[in-house]
Amino acid sequence: MSVPALTEQLKQGLDAPICLTWELTYACNLQCVHCLSSSGRRDPRELSTQEAKALLDELARLQVFYINIGGGEPMVRRDFFEIVQHSVDIGVGVKFSTNGAFIDAEAAARLAAMDYLDIQISLDGLDAATNDAVRGTGSYATARRAMDRLAGAGFGPFKISVVVTRHNVDQLDGFKALADQYGAQLRVTRLRPSGRGADSWHELHPTNAQQHQIYRWLLAHGDQVLTGDSFFHLNALGEPLPGLNMCGAGRVVCLIDPIGDVYACPFVIHEQFKAGSVRDEGGFAQVWRHSDLFRSLREPQSAGACASCGSYDACQGGCMAAKFFTGLPLDGPDPECVGGDGERSLAVVVPGTAPRPDQDHSRPVTLLRRRPAAVS
Amino acid sequence: MPVALDTPLELHPQVALRPEPFGALAYHYTNRRLVFLKHPDVVRVVSALAEHPDVATALTACGVTAPRWPSFLKALTSLEHSEIVRERPSTD
């Protein structure tokens, strides 16, 4: 009896996702320039506490073993602990991403006391200048303070989550040393042109030479760092990196946004990749198993313009979201194709024609600071 | 140490199995490891381990023929290493 390779089977989809991201809220105290969900202001249609718990109950029935909670800043929600506690109580483990602003000593102790809970603190620079240029003034100090508090509370190995950019790629060794110093685990992921990243990606994404640098670094350290398997486009350079070499969108991963809409992955919050809503009849399972979008993503995909390239089996044409938001065809090369085909394709994209993220929760920019009233 | 035919094994109590078309996903709640069981027969054997005195009896009960035993011992050794299965605590 011959069994198809595991990745071939995974491409046809599973009965439930392996890895599901749930952005709990679009509200955020920060305004990172690469925020993939363009977060800032809360959406008033956000799932209620009861809806959130009912969704978790459904995920438990589907045997989704753990979820990634993000935002926005998930700890902004007043029912954050109630939701997380409910999740772990019913056997759905939680890994949540935070900028750390709400981890005071009390919260750190509370988090340390919970089982089945992982925390990722976002940090995009090894120093305040590098980090704060992307994540906002003071965010480096905030993140480090949260790490100190988690360590002080005996949380154990939390995660430090780094989005690799042009400006921090030389700091990878330093991030690893910082993680080791805390007894933490380093996670590095790929910058996507999603959300506000659509506007900052062109300035921030690693250069072609840096892509080679990242590949070499991951080959040397890949077994000690988490990557969310997000760098598989680099596999065209040779020996494959650890992890599943495939796009999981709608096949093994998906995103639930704060109002319950279900998207193919966290990086494609756009109408074209919306499969349905957990508020629809049949709930999440109906969307996951039967939506037209997800069924089509589980069909064999065309290699398109990449078919004649000898590296297609290795890189799978790269990331759907990266292509979509840079205006490239989905069946062509990734914009960061290490063969240089992405750069050539990007060069001929007519400026202004790439699809725009169709949601923006950014807070309005304050142009003038109110001056204190003059004392008369 | 490699799993032997006379080893008493069981599914680790912290592990949940989720059936899938290719076999099953196994998730260990404590070490957060997710492991793919890539064949339905492996899933059946793993699920049956606790009901039998040792690996050989479990394999026989699941209809796994002797020529396939070496590959199953290899798979079970790897699963024990990932703490998906464990040696059953002695009941003496």
Q: How many CB pairs under 8 A join A and B?
A: 38
pLDDT at A15: 87
Q: Which residue has the higher pLDDT, A176 or A12?
A: A176
Contact call for residues B9 and B77 (beta carbons, < 8 A): no
pLDDT at B92: 60
Residues ≥6 apart with Cβ < 8 Å to B66: none
pLDDT at A97: 98
The beta strand positions in chain A, using DSSP E, are: 19-23, 66-70, 93-98, 117-122, 159-164, 185-190, 253-256, 261-263, 274-277
Six-digit token pair at A227? 């990557």
Q: Which residues of B touch A15 (CB under 8 A)?
A: 18-21
Closest residue, chain A, to B15 (C-alpha) = A65
The answer to whether the CB atoms of A91 and B16 lie below 8 A apart is yes
Q: Which residues of B touch A16 (CB under 8 A)?
A: 18
Residue in B53, B43, B49 with CA at minimum distance from that of residue B20: B43
**pLDDT at residue A2 is higher than 60:** no
User: How many angstroms separate the CA atoms of A65 and A60, rounded?
Assistant: 7
pLDDT at A194: 97
pLDDT at A158: 97
Six-digit token pair at B2? 């490699």
Q: How far is B2 from chain A (nearest CA, A)?
A: 23
- The sign of the dihedral angle between the CA atoms of A47, A15, A13, A89 is positive
User: How many angstroms separate the CA atoms of A231 and B73, rounded?
Assistant: 34
Q: Which residues of B touch A10 (CB under 8 A)?
A: 22
pLDDT at A104: 97
Q: Which residues of B touch A65 (CB under 8 A)?
A: 16, 18, 25, 27, 29, 34
Helical pair A49-61 and A80-89, crossing angle rounded to 10 deg: 20
Please report the ipTM that was assigned to this predicted complex. Answer: 0.83
Interface probe for B, chosen from A61, A63, A66 (most Cβ of B below 10 Å), is A63
Six-digit token pair at A219? 């080959």
Interface probe for B, chosen from A2, A9, A68, A288 (most Cβ of B below 10 Å), is A9
Query: Measuring CA to CA, how many Å separate A109 from each of A113, A152, A181?
Result: 6, 9, 20
Six-digit token pair at B3? 């799993």
pLDDT at A264: 97
pLDDT at A341: 87
What is the pTM assigned to this prediction?
0.91
pLDDT at A268: 97
**% of residues, chain A, pLDDT over 90:** 85
Q: What would the mean pLDDT of A63-88 be, rounded to a whole number? A: 97
The answer to whether the CB atoms of A9 and B16 lie below 8 A apart is no
Contact call for residues A360 and A38 (beta carbons, < 8 A): yes
- Cβ neighbourhood burial of A222 (10 Å; 0-12, 13-18, 19+): middle
User: How many angstroms separate the CA atoms of A205 and A69, rounded?
Assistant: 25
- Cβ neighbourhood burial of A339 (10 Å; 0-12, 13-18, 19+): middle
pLDDT band at A10 (very low <50, low <70, confident <90, very high): confident
Six-digit token pair at A244? 């599943």
Q: What would the mean pLDDT of B11-32 be, rounded to a whole number? A: 91
Q: Which residues of A touch B15 (CB under 8 A)?
A: none
Mind listing the pLDDT tens digit for each residue in A95-114?
Answer: 999 999 999 999 999 999 99
- Is the bond into A72 cis (omega within 30 degrees of 0)? yes
- Cβ neighbourhood burial of B49 (10 Å; 0-12, 13-18, 19+): buried
Q: What would the mean pLDDT of A124-140 be, rounded to a whole number? A: 98
Contact call for residues A74 and A120 (beta carbons, < 8 A): no
Q: How far is B11 from chain A (nearest CA, A)?
A: 17
